[in-house]
Structure 1
Amino acid sequence: MKHSTTNPSFLQIIRIIWSWKMLVMFFFGFSSGFPYYIIKDVLKFWMMDAGVDIAKIGLFALVGMPYTLKFVWSPMMDGFVPPFLGRRRGWILMAQIGLMITIALLGQFDPTQSLVWIAVFALCLNFFGASQDIALDAFRREYLTSNELGFGTGVWMNAWRLGTFVSVGLSVLADFNFTWQTIFLMLTAVMGVGVITTLLVPEPVVEERLPLNMKEVIIEPFVEFFQRRSAILIIFFILLYKMGDNMASAMAIPYIVQMEFTKAQYFVIVKGVGMLGLFGGVLIGGSIMIRLGIAKSLYIFGILQAVSTAFFPVLNMIDHGSNFWIEHSQKLLGGIVAFEFFATGLGQAAYATYMAIQTNKRFTATQYALLTSLMGVPGVFAAASTGYMSKYLGWNGFYYFCALIAIPGLVLLFKIAPWNASNEELEQGR
């Protein structure tokens, strides 16, 4: 493998950061995150206000399945070009219109009378939301160059979280005598941000020949990926790189509560300071990737993720009856959480960017949907064991284990992303 030593100049970095493309990433990232929490949180607030049984509310978690299974219908979005706007923008617009119609209609039902219909429309909303994500992820990969992709992903992730905050934030209006029907119409209107962006942005130019038949649409994306020399190693890397970080995050609430912090302190420090750290991490991580490239960033950010996790036992080592703990415990938690979330943001930016460049632009939607589905596997299965692990290893042992389990993912980088590899050399597992 040849290695590139040229890096973008400071002026080129500034041009990337302040380009119109990054504004497009912001609006599309917002549009991606906005509908996700309408079902995840807003719907629950609505049903709680209506006095729906808590057991029935819990069953609504099942309507989130489209986001898990989106790779099933993603080939359709690679192989069939809508008769308007182009391959990516056409599918994006159809999904957004579907979202607007579904959100508007969903709010017109009465949770006490029409729970089945609400479940049907909630499932449809998540289907359109997942479909929008498939097309938007493919658009981002094809719209940005490899040098732009890291920072663009950082902008996207922050805008995604802002979108979730806005959708949940609008539900607060129910406490100020706004009807839920009105709130859902307001949610519908906010989706107009994405529609306007879709209509104004140009269609990405893809030089590769597009799939022509069902075989190329459904089978070739998987055949093309797994024929690569390092395909299996790439899969293992995707499964392992964030595993320790995900496991540590899964037990954050029980650990912080056992360290005798209150729920209010948890909310302010973790959801406040932590989120600011995460926002900073993904943006700074994206900026660093422009200069250092994706390969070097994966090494550095992966190490920082592991180190930040290893700091959590400090809270358990200090005497909780000491004057130092009484005076400085909240500052200590804030510092550890800020560092951990910042490192997580750095790692997320590099991780998502690496997955994006592993997709062939002929099959971007299918391959990216497959890789992001794999990304979620450790979060489910590894996190499920964290309660037993923390019980039998103790908190210190558990967090040290989470830090050490980052090593296999880092070791794989020597094979799939050598230190001096350029972004172009990493593309599609070259």
Structure 2
Amino acid sequence: MLALGFASGLPLALTTGTLQAWATVSNVSLQSIGFLTLVGTAYTLKFLWAPLVDRYAPPLLGRRRGWVFLCQILLAISISAMGFFSPSTELAWLALLAVIVAFLSATQDIAFDAYSTDVLHDSERAAGAALKVMGYRVAMIVSGGLALVLAGTWLDWRYTYVLMGVLMLLCTLATMLAPEPEVVAKAPRTLALAVIEPLSEFFSRRGAVMILLLIVLYKLGDAFAGALSTTFLLRGVGFSPEEVGTVNKIFGLIATIVGALAGGSLMARMGLYRSLMVFGILQAVSNLGYWILAVTPQHIWSMGLVVALENICGGLGTAAFVALLMALCKQEFSATQFALLSALSAVGRTYLAGPFTPPLVESMGWPSFFVITVFIGMPGLLLLWWKRHEIRALDRDELAPDANESQDEPQTAASS
């Protein structure tokens, strides 16, 4: 889970934060930087081709690992190719390559999420989700913080992206060594069934639409706060790329490890619903750290504290969120159902936070914007409280797949 989580997280920063930093120092306009977030559209649409991953299998390494391996090879090539284009003169070509990387990364995520859902026992779900998120966030620090340091001091942007491509190629070793699930679910007999059955099974559950809305809203405030966080630190506060990269690499890495280990331990004790609520509150309130940076004098230690707090709280929230998505999936359809759920979680980041953050910042300024992001996170927490009976039932593994509890008629464990 740790190694494959790293492979899953490596491409994201290279098409978001790191690409954003590269465009910022290349004097690309704020509006163009904001719309660069649309290259991640593949993450919100991946459910459209997830049935192909469920139905067909590459000739090597099985139905799940085979797709992961193939995507990792193509990602290594595409990420390396990004380094040979400049944002200032070839932004369109660079954005096109970023779209390809995002598509391949989303496909890798489809297969990896299905694999983790299949291979982890119920008792391993909390720890597995925490280590998966830990690997993911460590990769984002490597392709985010470390990449900025390398591009600014040791290598230029071209060779930094080539190096990231090589790291992705090395991740194929983990894929080849990963074990197959003890129980291998049969693939759908036809592509039509691969499309219809996962959706009909999920939407036959009572309250399914509200659960989908919860998934969209849960991390929305976090998405708005992080949409232009790199541009804020560089242009809004005035730190150098090397300072931002170093702080992310050191404080971010330490905080990620602490957050992941704490998340797995606390989830096992607190249960899924309480973890989602407590961690959700923490990830919303942690956005105020950016407000403090915006209204206080520039200091690298204050940035380090804010980065550490964001990584701990964001990691806790993400670990609980991933555990929720795994609990909602049925093994036979894990690729398509997980893709649908995780795609919905990216809607806020791609279609709302990316395009709407620049005009919000320009109209109200950085300090007011970060205060607003705390309130953007509140509707998701209110909906989580409203659906608490369904979440608690999932946590007890007593929720029938075709008869979820409604918020109006909470059932007892026995009647469930």
TM-score range, shorter chain: 0.7 to 0.9
Cα deviation for residue 116 of structure 1 reads 6.8
Distance 1:339 1:40 in 2: 21
Quick one: which amino acid aligns to residue 333 of structure 2?
A: F
Give the equivalent residue in structure 2 for 1:424: 397
Distance 2:84 2:307 in 1: 41
Quick one: which amino acid aligns to residue 231 of structure 1?
A: A
Give the equivalent residue in structure 2 for 1:214: 191
Q: Cα distance 1:406–1:340, how it changes in 2: closer, same or farther (>3 A)?
A: farther
Q: Cα distance 1:216–1:305, how it changes in 2: closer, same or farther (>3 A)?
A: same
Distance 1:344 1:238 in 2: 15
Which has the larger displacement, 398-407 or 207-216?
398-407
CA contact under 8 A between 1:299 and 1:413: conserved in structure 2? no
Q: Does 1:411 align with 2:388?
A: no
Cα deviation for residue 377 of structure 1 reads 2.6
Question: Unmatched 5+ residue regions in structure 1?
Answer: 1-24
Aligned residues: 394
Distance 2:363 2:375 in 1: 9
Cα deviation for residue 427 of structure 1 reads 8.0
- TM-score, length basis structure 1: 0.72
Q: Cα distance 1:198–1:401, how it changes in 2: closer, same or farther (>3 A)?
A: closer
Cα deviation for residue 27 of structure 1 reads 0.9
Which of 272, 294, 301 is equivalent to 2:272? 294
Quick one: which amino acid aligns to residue 165 of structure 2?
A: T
Give the equivalent residue in structure 1 for 2:139: 163
Which of 159, 162, 166 is equivalent to 1:189? 166
Q: Deviations over 1:222-249 (max 9, x none)?
A: 1111011231231122133334454566
Q: Cα distance 1:55–1:211, how it changes in 2: closer, same or farther (>3 A)?
A: same
CA contact under 8 A between 2:252 and 2:311: conserved in structure 1? yes
Q: Deviations over 1:340-387 (max 9, x none)?
A: 653333222111210122111112111111111211233456643865
CA contact under 8 A between 2:72 and 2:171: conserved in structure 1? yes
Distance 1:56 1:399 in 2: 19
Q: Cα distance 1:232–1:108, how it changes in 2: closer, same or farther (>3 A)?
A: closer
Give the equivalent residue in structure 1 for 2:412: none
Which has the larger displacement, 132-141 or 396-405?
396-405
Quick one: which amino acid aligns to residue 408 of structure 1?
A: L
Aligned-CA RMSD value: 4.8
Give the equivalent residue in structure 1 for 2:312: 342
Cα deviation for residue 91 of structure 1 reads 0.8
Cα deviation for residue 211 of structure 1 reads 0.7
CA contact under 8 A between 1:295 and 1:421: conserved in structure 2? no
Q: Cα distance 1:423–1:276, how it changes in 2: closer, same or farther (>3 A)?
A: farther
Give the equivalent residue in structure 2 for 1:74: 50
Distance 2:169 2:62 in 1: 19
Distance 2:225 2:92 in 1: 37
Q: Cα distance 1:212–1:281, how it changes in 2: closer, same or farther (>3 A)?
A: same
Give the equivalent residue in structure 2 for 1:198: 175
Distance 2:386 2:149 in 1: 46
Q: Cα distance 1:416–1:77, how it changes in 2: closer, same or farther (>3 A)?
A: same
CA contact under 8 A between 1:108 and 1:181: conserved in structure 2? yes
Give the equivalent residue in structure 2 for 1:234: 211
SS at match of 2:397: helix
Give the equivalent residue in structure 2 for 1:101: 77
Quick one: which amino acid aligns to residue 211 of structure 2?
A: I
Which of 255, 262, 265 is equivalent to 1:284? 262
CA contact under 8 A between 1:390 and 1:397: conserved in structure 2? no
Quick one: which amino acid aligns to residue 69 of structure 2?
A: L
Which has the larger displacement, 35-44 or 332-341?
332-341
Identical positions, percent: 33
Quick one: which amino acid aligns to residue 40 of structure 2?
A: G
Distance 2:237 2:30 in 1: 29
Distance 2:192 2:376 in 1: 42
CA contact under 8 A between 1:147 and 1:423: conserved in structure 2? no
Q: Deviations over 1:310-367 (max 9, x none)?
A: 8999999xxx9xxxx99xx998987777556533332221112101221111121111
Quick one: which amino acid aligns to residue 45 of structure 2?
A: L
Distance 1:410 1:125 in 2: 33
CA contact under 8 A between 2:21 and 2:231: conserved in structure 1? no
Distance 2:28 2:225 in 1: 32
CA contact under 8 A between 1:306 and 1:406: conserved in structure 2? no
Which of 111, 126, 132 is equivalent to 2:108? 132
Cα deviation for residue 295 of structure 1 reads 3.1
Q: Cα distance 1:291–1:407, how it changes in 2: closer, same or farther (>3 A)?
A: closer
Distance 1:375 1:55 in 2: 25
Distance 2:101 2:272 in 1: 35
Give the equivalent residue in structure 2 for 1:28: 4
Q: Cα distance 1:426–1:354, how it changes in 2: closer, same or farther (>3 A)?
A: farther
Larger Rg: 1
Which of 177, 198, 201 is equivalent to 1:224? 201
Cα deviation for residue 284 of structure 1 reads 0.7
Give the equivalent residue in structure 1 for 2:127: 151
Q: Cα distance 1:233–1:94, how it changes in 2: closer, same or farther (>3 A)?
A: same
Distance 2:90 2:292 in 1: 51
CA contact under 8 A between 2:361 and 2:369: conserved in structure 1? no
Q: Deviations over 1:180-236 (max 9, x none)?
A: 665554333212332111111122244544211122111221111101123123112
Cα deviation for residue 414 of structure 1 reads 2.4
Cα deviation for residue 283 of structure 1 reads 2.6
SS at match of 2:275: helix
Distance 2:337 2:32 in 1: 34
Quick one: which amino acid aligns to residue 198 of structure 2?
A: P
Distance 1:395 1:190 in 2: 36
CA contact under 8 A between 1:138 and 1:365: conserved in structure 2? yes
